[in-house]
């Protein structure tokens, strides 16, 4: 039995492809069949005459859209005299549903649309029987209908849209993301699945390798602090990118990740603060803040007082949440002793990248002037307590004790008054009276 694939001749004529090589290879296989040297008798295998075009494969283009059934090929027995006595029978994959055969002529047609991407080949079996006796005239033969690709699938980015990150300031050529477009067409035949990548949006910042789909940085010194997010549109086109190819696109959202390329910066070179002299140790004097354009750890900093005459009197700590520097009192203040201080405050990044050291220093300095405010303070006695002994018979008018008190607000104006007691009491009662006198005295000084 021979298989004539008339369509094959068209392929031979119009196409030069790996498929054709397959056909030639298969032609060789087909020739291995037994040669005919006479008409067969009984059930002995028939010998065939060697022919120029004998095939055991049919080829048919997928996605045929004509109204008539698609002619695929013809089965033919060498014993067929054309008198209709031979009946051709088709079995196997798709026989009767996808493929039909004219049992007299051996013509095979496809009655369903064929889609190579669903099923690329069908294995079928052919029989030639005597129409009257139903005896097989030849051994059953197997043949294959191969569905030939057309370019009916565009490349697709199955995982898109994509998210990608790359550190800011990356060098040109730094890899960002590997994209792969899938083309369902036959990669072994023609250019239907030969994909070429190009960038439609996102230049000049990024580029894509036409062959591999690898997206890279294509502009130097991209700064996150200037522009953080980029939308890149990549196209994949089959037919090797030629005109007429089918194309698919995808989007990549690329975010530049932060590196520590900005130092902290105080917005003022000087800052004024004031604090009452009465503020206790630990009190907050004020806050300072240095701006760092970076984010996260790259903006973290530590404040310290590196110089100034207030270095021993004030402390600075860092609020880790808001990144403020908080200046507090370390030692008691005294307006009369020192009414103002100067602090040289530094804000320095904590996490430094050695590779970016040349961009440093990653710190800044400001001067903080602290004014100590005078507070109207009560007079202070020269002793917190006095012990006085008096004879119990002391006379009225006796000078009991001379005490002195100082007004801290006026350091040079030391006031001294004498407390005189008229004593009509004894011992412990006297001390009580004395205390009262002191309180009275204190109030006098306050006036
Ligand atoms: Ca296809
Ligand atoms: Ca394609
Ligand atoms: Ca920084
Ligand atoms: Ca940065």
Q: DSSP for 310-374, please give it.
A: TTTTEEEEE-TTT-EEEEEESS---TTT-SEEEEEEEEEESS--GGGGGG---EEEEEEEEEEEP
In this structure, the strands spanning 70-76 and 107-110 are: antiparallel
Q: Is the pLDDT of residue 443 over 70?
A: no
User: 348 CA to middle of ligand 2, Å?
Assistant: 57
User: 220 CA to middle of ligand 4, Å?
Assistant: 15
Q: Which CATH superfamily does the domain covering 2-148 fall into?
A: Cadherins (2.60.40.60)
pLDDT of residue 410: 57
pLDDT of residue 411: 55
Q: Is the pLDDT of residue 359 over 90?
A: no
User: 4 CA to middle of ligand 1, Å?
Assistant: 24
Q: Is the pLDDT of residue 344 over 90?
A: yes
pLDDT single digits (tens) 153-182: 999 999 989 999 999 999 999 999 999 999
d(CA 148, CA 410): 109
Hey, where are the domains in the chain?
2-148, 162-257, 265-373, 380-446
- Which residue, among 113, 130, 8, has the nearest Cα to 59 in the 3D structure? 8
Q: Which residues neighbour 10 within 8 Å (Cβ) at sequence distance 6 or greater?
A: none
- Given this chain, do its domains 2-148 and 162-257 carry the same CATH topology? yes
The pTM of this model reads: 0.68
Q: What percent of the chain has pLDDT above 90?
A: 56
User: 159 CA to middle of ligand 4, Å?
Assistant: 30
- Cα 258 to Cα 8, 170, 255, 293: the distances in Å are 62, 11, 9, 10
Ion ligand 2 neighbours, Cβ < 5 Å: 151, 153, 183, 185, 192, 238
Does the domain spanning 162-257 belong to CATH 2.60.40.60? yes
Task: Please report which confidence band the pLDDT of residue 212 belongs to, taking 50, 70 and 90 as the band edges.
Answer: very high
pLDDT single digits (tens) 104-120: 998 999 998 999 999 99
pLDDT of residue 58: 83
pLDDT single digits (tens) 381-406: 788 887 877 777 777 777 777 777 77
Show the tokens assigned to 60: 């048919």
pLDDT single digits (tens) 130-143: 999 999 988 888 98
Show the tokens assigned to 322: 């808001």
pLDDT single digits (tens) 247-300: 999 999 999 999 999 999 998 888 999 999 999 999 999 999 999 999 999 999
Q: What is the CATH number of domain 265-373?
A: 2.60.40.60
Locate tokens 């990150």: which residue?
Answer: 165
Where is pLDDT greater, at 235 or 41? 235
Task: Please report which confidence band the pLDDT of residue 15 belongs to, taking 50, 70 and 90 as the band edges.
Answer: very low
């Amino acid at each position: 039995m021979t298989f004539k694939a008339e369509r094959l001749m068209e392929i031979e004529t119009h196409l030069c492809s790996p498929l054709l090589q397959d056909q030639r290879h298969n032609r060789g296989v087909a020739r291995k069949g037994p040669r005919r040297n006479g008409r067969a008798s009984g059930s002995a295998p028939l010998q065939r005459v060697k022919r120029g075009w004998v095939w055991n494969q049919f080829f048919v283009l997928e996605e045929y859209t004509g109204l008539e059934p698609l002619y695929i090929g013809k089965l033919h027995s060498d014993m067929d005299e054309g008198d209709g006595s031979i009946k051709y029978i088709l079995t196997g994959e798709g026989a009767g549903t996808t493929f039909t055969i004219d049992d007299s002529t051996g013509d095979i047609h496809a009655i369903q649309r064929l889609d190579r991407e669903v099923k690329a080949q069908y294995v079928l079996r052919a029989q030639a029987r005597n129409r009257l006796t139903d005896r097989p005239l030849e051994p059953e033969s197997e043949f294959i209908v191969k569905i030939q690709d057309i370019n009916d699938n565009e490349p697709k980015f199955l995982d898109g849209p994509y998210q990608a990150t790359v550190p800011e300031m990356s060098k040109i050529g730094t890899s960002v993301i590997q994209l792969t477009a899938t083309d369902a067409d036959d990669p072994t035949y023609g250019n239907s699945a030969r994909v070429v990548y190009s960038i439609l949006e996102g230049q000049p910042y990024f580029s894509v390798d036409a062959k591999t789909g690898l997206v890279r940085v294509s502009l130097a010194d991209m700064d996150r602090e200037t522009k953080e997010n980029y939308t890149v549109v990549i196209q994949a086109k089959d037919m090797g990118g030629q005109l007429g190819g089918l194309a698919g696109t995808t989007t990549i959202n690329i975010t530049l990740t932060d590196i520590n390329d900005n130092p902290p910066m105080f917005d003022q070179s000087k800052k004024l603060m004031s604090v009452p002299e009465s503020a206790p140790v630990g009190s907050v004097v004020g806050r300072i803040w240095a701006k760092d354009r970076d984010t996260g750890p790259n903006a973290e900093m530590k404040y310290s007082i590196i110089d100034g005459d207030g270095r021993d009197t004030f402390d600075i700590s860092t609020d880790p949440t808001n990144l403020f520097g908080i200046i507090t009192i370390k030692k008691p203040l005294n307006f009369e002793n020192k009414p103002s201080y100067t602090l040289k405050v530094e804000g320095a990044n904590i996490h430094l990248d050695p590779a970016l050291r040349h961009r440093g220093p990653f710190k800044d300095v400001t001067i903080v002037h602290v004014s100590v405010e005078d507070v109207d303070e009560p007079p202070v006695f020269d002793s917190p307590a006095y012990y006085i002994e008096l004879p119990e018979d002391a006379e009225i008018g006796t000078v009991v004790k001379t005490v002195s008190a100082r007004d801290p607000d006026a350091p040079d104006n030391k006031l001294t008054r004498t407390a005189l007691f008229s004593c009509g009491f004894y011992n412990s009662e006297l001390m009580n009276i004395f205390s009262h006198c002191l309180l009275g005295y204190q109030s006098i000084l306050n006036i």
